Amino acid sequence: MECLPVDAIPEGAEWTYEIKLDGYRAEAVKHAGKVALYSRRKHLLNNNFRDVVAELEYLPDETVVDGELVALGKDGKPSFNLLQNFRSMESHIVFYAFDVLVHKGKDVTALSLERRRKILASIIRPQNHVGISQVRTGRADILNFVRTHGLEGVVAKRTSNVYQAGKHGTLV
């Protein structure tokens, strides 16, 4: 799913919020004992992000995880410029998982986001180069955090939504 830009972030108990990370969208695919990391355009990224691939080897076979490759600067903030120069020693690359599409060979895209996030939390082990995108339920809190820290934006997701390819999420 890709985000649709909006002028105002939706509010209500059925919404969760994540920080919009400034990086490369990627899918981690574990098949036949091997992890492949693909870009949105299906380019294999394994050679460029070996540390991430190595830390995802524990994923169950026949699993697909959606996420964002992010370079964190010395200040801890995502930096797209550092990501473009990922071989630089100044950056620290992290794959932030935010959804699971296939789990142990079962397509889970018809499940609600809330259920997929539970599966994701059960399979992702945060490490040095792998993390889980943090979800918040307070709209005002996350907007304030993003503004205070000069981050890119907020992604709002309805917890009951199933996964649909195309532009369906909300970005402010």
Active-site annotation holds for 20:
yes
Look at the alpha carbons of 168, 99, 137, 12 in this order and tell me if their dihedral is positive or negative: positive
User: Does residue 101 contact residue 108 with C-beta atoms inside 8 Å?
Assistant: yes
Task: Tell me the catalytic residues.
Answer: 20
